[in-house]
Chains A and B, each alone.
Chain A
Amino acid sequence: MRNLIRNHAVVADDWTFVPLPPPAEETIRKQAGKVVIFKLTGEPAATPEQIQATEIPSGKVIIPLSVWLARKEELAARVAASEIGVWLETHELVEDLVGSLPDINALPVIAIHFPRFADGRGFSIATLLRTRFGYRNEIRAVGDVLRDQLFYMKRCGFDAFAIREDRSAEEALASLRDFSEPYQGAVDNPLPVWRRYTRYCQHPFAERKYQPVHEDEVD
Chain B
Amino acid sequence: MYLYDDIDQRLIDERVAQFRDQTRRYLAGQLTDDEFRPLRLQNGLYIQRHAPMLRVAIPYGLLSSAQLRKLAHIARVYDRGYAHFTTRQDIQFNWPQLERVPDILAELATVQMHAIQTSGNCVRNITTDQFAGVAPDEVVDPRPLAEILRQWSSFHPEFAYLPRKFKIAVNGSLNDRAVIRVHDIGLGFYRDAKGEIALQVWVGGGLGRTPMIGTLIREHLEWRHMLTYCEAILRVYNRYGRRDNAFKARIKILVKALGAEEFARQVEEEWSHLKDGPHTITEEEFQRVSGFFQRTNYATLDDYCPEFEQQLQTNRAFARWVERCVHPHKVPGYRAVTLSLKPTGVAPGDATADQMDSIAFLADRYSFGELRVSHEQNLILADVRVSDLYALWEQAKRIGVATPNIGLLTDIICCPGGDFCSLANAKSIPIARAIQEKFDDLDYLYDIGDLDLNISGCMNSCGHHHVAHIGVLGVDKDGAEWYQITLGGSQGNDAAIGTVIGPAFAAEEVPGVVQKLIETYVAERLEGERFIDTVRRVGIAPFKANVYAKEAAHA
> Which A residues form the contact surface with B (CB < 8 A)?
36-37, 39-43, 117-121, 123-125, 127, 131-132, 146, 148-149, 151-153, 155-156, 178-186, 190-195, 197, 199-204, 209-210, 219
**B35 at the binding interface (Cβ < 8 Å):** yes
Chain B residues in contact with chain A, CB under 8 A? Answer: 3-7, 9-11, 14-15, 18, 22, 31, 35, 38-39, 121, 151-163, 227, 235, 238-244, 254, 257-258, 273, 277-279, 282, 284-285, 287-289, 291-292
In whole angstroms, how far apart are the Cα atoms of A194 and B286 in the complex?
10
Name the B residues within 8 Å of A200 (CB-CB): 5, 288
Is the CB–CB distance between B257 and A40 below 8 Å? yes
- Give min CB distance, A218 to chain B, whole Å: 8
Q: Which residues of B contact A210 (CB under 8 A)?
A: 5-7
- Indicate if the CB atoms of B35 and A148 lie closer than 8 Å: yes
| A190 with B158: CB separation less than 8 A | no
Rounded to whole Å, the gap between the CB of A136 and the closest CB of chain B is 18
A126 to chain B, nearest CB (A): 9
B4 touches A184 (CB 8 A): no
Which residues of A are found within 8 Å of B15, using beta-carbon distances? Answer: 179
Q: Which residue of A lies closest to B257 (CB)?
A: A40
Q: Is the CB of A203 within 8 A of B240?
A: no
Q: Are A184's CB and B279's CB within 8 A? A: yes
Once the chains bind, are A209 and B5 in contact (CB under 8 Å)?
yes
Can you sample 24 A-B contacts with CB below 8 Å? A36-B258, A40-B241, A117-B161, A119-B243, A120-B159, A120-B161, A120-B162, A121-B243, A124-B158, A124-B239, A132-B273, A152-B155, A155-B158, A178-B18, A184-B156, A185-B278, A192-B227, A194-B282, A195-B278, A195-B282, A201-B287, A204-B3, A204-B6, A219-B282
Residues of A within 8 A of B161 (CB): 117-120, 123, 149
A-B pairs, top 3 by smallest CB distance, nearest first, are: A120-B161, A201-B291, A155-B157
Per DSSP, chain A at the interface is loop
Question: What is the CB-to-nearest-CB distance from B49 to chain A, in angstroms, rounded to a whole number?
Answer: 24
Q: A40-B240, A152-B155, A199-B288 are in contact. List 10 more A-B contacts (CB 8 A).
A: A40-B242, A40-B254, A42-B244, A124-B235, A148-B22, A156-B157, A182-B11, A182-B157, A183-B11, A204-B6
Task: Give the residues in chain B near A125, CB-CB below 8 Å.
Answer: 239
Contact, CB under 8 Å: A201 / B292 = yes
Q: Is the CB of A199 within 8 A of B282?
A: no
Give the complex CA separation of A83 and B22 in angstroms.
39
Minimum Cβ distance to chain B for residue A97 (Å): 14
Give Cα A209 to B5, complex, Å.
Answer: 8
Residues of chain A within 8 A of B155, CB atoms compared? 152, 179, 182-184
